[in-house]
Amino acid sequence: MYHVQDEASLLRASLDGEVEAWGEIVNRYKEAVFGLCLGFLRNHADAEDISHDTFIRAYENLYRYRVEKRFSTWIFTIASNLCRNRLRYRRHHPIAPLPAQMEGGCNPATTIAQEDRQAQIRQGLSRLPYRYRTPITLRYYNDLSYHQIARILSLPEGTVKTHIYRGKALLRQEIGEMEVINHA
């Protein structure tokens, strides 16, 4: 593990060719980038591929990154652009549904209920139009601000807020309809 804790120092060291420093940056961001990609693509294998490609692209273009700017915004922008490219490529191909993943827990009934709820949310998200699904994923799965999302998606901040609001309303409607169908 690399001993420098300051992100800016790690990035400067990476620019100087220190592979361990770049490894630490990758370790810090790999889960967030993967989560973003999974939210975009809804396919585990594609999300892994794009996550990997994101870090390769970022390393190759690290000389373009300005250290005084937020690295998270820069890396998420790269990831979202690569995801958009993959979606454009696969436009007419079916997308496999997200597999349900069991999480460990003390109470199996609670774990199953939580998993069912998360599966409903993922299923509902997968049915949302891209313009709503993406900002919701960035906001709630990656904990980004409206300003950061606006920069990543190249949209006005007000549009991002509107898309999140409308997307949440549609998601509530989708989940409500799924619950009615499941309980009928």
pLDDT for position 105? 45
* Residue that has been written with the tokens 């001993």 in this structure: 3
CA distance linking residue 19 with residue 79, whole number of Å: 21
Alpha-carbon separation of residue 70 from 16, 66, 74, 76, 97 (angstroms):
19, 9, 7, 10, 33
Can you give the pTM of this predicted structure? 0.59
pLDDT for position 95? 44
First to last CA, the chain: 54
Average confidence (pLDDT) over 52-71: 90
pLDDT for position 111? 65
Burial tier of 140 (Cβ tally within 10 Å: 0-12, 13-18, 19+):
middle
Contact predicate 55/24, CB 8 Å: no
Radius of gyration over every alpha carbon of the chain, rounded to an integer in angstroms: 18
Domains and CATH numbers, the chain: 1-91 (1.10.1740.10), 103-184 (1.10.10.10)
Q: What is the pLDDT of residues 1-25, one digit of tens each?
A: 555 578 888 988 988 888 899 999 9
Sequence-ordered list of residues with C-beta below 8 angstroms from that of 161, at least 6 positions apart, any chain: 146
* Residue that has been written with the tokens 């999300």 in this structure: 47
Sequence-ordered list of residues with C-beta below 8 angstroms from that of 79, at least 6 positions apart, any chain: 33, 36, 37, 50, 51, 54
Q: What is the mean pLDDT of the chain?
A: 81
Q: Which residue has the higher pLDDT, 114 or 28?
A: 28
